[in-house]
Amino acid sequence: MTPFARAHRFGGIRRFAQISRTLVRHGLGSLMDRRRHRRSSPLENSRSATAKGVLPSPRRLRMALEELGPSFIKLGQLMSTRADMFPLEYIDELKKLQDSIPPVPFDAIAGIIENELGRPLKKTFKSVSREAVAAASVAQVHRAELFSGEQVAIKVIRPGIDKVLRNDIRLMYYFAEKLEKSLEIGRVVGAVNVVKEFERTVFRELDMRTEAGNMDKFAANFEGDAEIHIPRVFWDLTTKSVLVMEYIPGVKVDQVDQIRAMGIDPAEVAMIGLRSFSRQLMEFGFFHADPHPANTIVMPDGRVGLVDFGITGYLDEEDMRQIAFLFLGYAEHDYGMIMEALIGAGFVDDTHTDLKRFRTDLKDISEPFYGRSLSTISVRDVADQVMQLIFKYRLRLPRNLLLLLKTFIQTEALGKTLESEASLLEVTRPYAKRLIERGYKAQKILRNLGDEIRGFGRHARQMPGFVHDILKRTAEGKQRLILHHDGFDRLDAKLEKGVNRVIVGMVIAASTIAGALVLNAPENGLVVTLPILNLDAVPLAGLLGITGYSIATILGIWLILSIFRSGKM
């Protein structure tokens, strides 16, 4: 099938041609037709290729994605979180993709709101601003006022974005497959898998109810907190494509001069952010994974409002504990604790990684940052060192841990912007200690025991299916069952010995009964003469009876003695 035929199938020749022209204009077109040598490492390939001009510069890649529109901007944002796949210079540039998209005309947005809520705008809102407060690749936000006087923000999915995303994702798969066939770096990065992850995550953002649920969870976690404010969700006005929430007044967290003008100390704002981040990690296991300035609002009363919960991360109880050990290990300069935490959290695979070398490299990159305040540490330097370590050991991190790393860097960057002298490690330290202590309480132990029991129950339910599969494959000749038994020879001997004793016992009983019956016979019958014993005219019946008794007595004594000798009386 030709590329144009595929393009028609994947979403239209016009869009395919537009993407192709954009890639060519920004230096990515001839990229697909070049082969890379496979002798050097992927990281070396990417760096040398960039230096020689084979790969586009990070800036040109970012510009190409911006020009291609919302779908590719979201893809670039996802790529910016995969620091385990892409070189740092590309990560830094792709982080600049902040959804600076022209807003959709208000009439189109108003139509979506009315269709979703099932009534005209004027019957729902007292007023709605025609100008968008913010416009992103998937949705845009308008300010409004309810008839109750409450100020709200309306977040609306852009019209037609669902269809645009689906068509563009089909084309992304086509170009990703071509990239993997053409370049070694494409195969190592796993371009097709990147698109798969993008497809999985982006469609979650198209359902405003998911984000609304995240907001409610955060609100519950920070209920009663005097420093953090989460917008209230108006569920009766929220649908799949529309989210109505409380409007948060204030300024963006990077507008330091305006924060000071409100009489608020920027350094204290940074401390609020660090404490909030620590609680999200060490208490809740649920964190805001996109804390850039546009999503962090400093309110006039000094509180910090968090908005835009489209990207969040989860940590289970064990991950939380390992992260706590990691922070505590860094704070206390304990590299043994750090290594155990990295292995336990899944950062490092102890079966395929040279742990001794990894520990040495980790110590080399960590030592220069000890004892320094946040304002003196370059986030870029830290990230560069960490990424080099990840590339060197070919580590592939779970998505939530990558989100955590990204959030850590963003939080630290916000602290620097606010001219904070605080250390994130020191702020997090008491929260980490409390988490570790909480893990050893009896209640937690019982809960863990309950988890183990439930796990055993799951395995027990799965066992019949496993047995069925084994027997089915065996019957089909796809596998063999080899049974090895041991100890049955001893069991055979014991069984035989027991049976023989029973038989002897039966003979004794029969002889005794027969002898008794013969001796009690009323007639003597035949008589015999025993010259040896000088006995004349001995009844034959009496002789047989005495003989039976004698045999029974001898066998009985022998049987009793053998049982006594066996010690199993």
By mean pLDDT, which of 293-302, 443-452, 491-500 is the weakest? Answer: 443-452
> Residue 51 above 50 pLDDT?
no
* Sign for the pseudo-dihedral over CA of 86, 87, 93, 95: positive
| Segment 228-257 mean pLDDT | 95
The residue extents of the domains of the chain are: 3-99+165-202, 251-440, 442-483, 488-566
Closest CA to 383 of 45, 91, 79, 60: 91
Residue 263, Ramachandran bin (φ over 0: left; ψ between -120 and 50: alpha; else beta): left
Distance CA 79, CA 92 (A): 10
Name the average pLDDT for the chain: 76
Instruction: Mark whether 381 is an active-site residue.
Output: no
Q: What is the pLDDT of residues 310-329, one digit of tens each?
A: 888 888 888 888 878 877 77
The position carrying tokens 């030709």 is: 2
DSSP state of 56: P
By mean pLDDT, which of 28-42, 154-168, 528-542 is the weakest? Answer: 28-42
Neighbours of 259 (CB within 10 A): 21
Catalytic residue among 290, 301, 319, 384: 290
Distance CA 421, CA 415 (A): 8
pLDDT for the residue numbered 549 = 67
Q: What percent of the chain has pLDDT over 90?
A: 22
Q: What percent of the chain has pLDDT over 70?
A: 66
Closest CA to 79 of 89, 90, 70, 69: 90
Distance CA 426, CA 35 (A): 49
Q: DSSP string spanning 467-536?
A: HHHHHHHHHTTSS-------SHHHHHHHHHHHHHHHHHHHHHHHHHHHHHHHHT-S----EEEETTTTEE
Residues 6 or more apart in contact with residue 403 via CB below 8 angstroms: 81, 287, 289, 311, 313
Residues 6 or more apart in contact with residue 491 via CB below 8 angstroms: none
> Residue 49 above 70 pLDDT?
no
The distance from CA 321 to its chain's CA centroid, rounded to whole angstroms, is 15
Residues 6 or more apart in contact with residue 11 via CB below 8 angstroms: 166, 167, 168, 170, 171
pLDDT for the residue numbered 258 = 94
Q: Which residue has the higher pLDDT, 204 or 249?
A: 249
CA dihedral angle for residue 74, residue 75, residue 81, residue 86, rounded to 10 degrees: -150
| Segment 71-81 mean pLDDT | 78
Distance CA 278, CA 280 (A): 5
Q: DSSP string spanning 98-109?
A: ----PPPPHHHH
Q: 101 is written with which tokens?
A: 């998209």
Residue 333, Ramachandran bin (φ over 0: left; ψ between -120 and 50: alpha; else beta): left
Q: Which residue has the higher pLDDT, 360 or 518?
A: 360
φ and ψ of 327, to 5 deg:
-65, -40
pLDDT for the residue numbered 266 = 92
> Residue 181 above 60 pLDDT?
yes
Q: Which residue has the higher pLDDT, 446 or 509?
A: 509
Single-letter code of the amino acid located at 43: L
Residue 140, classed as helix, strand or coil, is strand
Residues 6 or more apart in contact with residue 522 via CB below 8 angstroms: none
pLDDT for the residue numbered 220 = 95
Taking a C-beta distance cutoff of 8 angstroms, is the pair 45, 11 a contact? Answer: no
> Residue 516 above 80 pLDDT?
no
HEC string of 182-242?
HCHHHHHHCHHHHHHHHHHHHCCCCCHHHHHHHHHHHHHHCCCCCCEECCCECHHHCCCCE
| Segment 102-122 mean pLDDT | 93
Distance CA 125, CA 187 (A): 52
pTM of the model: 0.64
| Helix (H) and strand (E) counts in the chain | 22, 12
Distance CA 208, CA 204 (A): 8
Q: What is the pLDDT of residues 135-171, one digit of tens each?
A: 887 899 999 999 999 999 999 999 988 888 888 888 8
pLDDT for the residue numbered 179 = 78
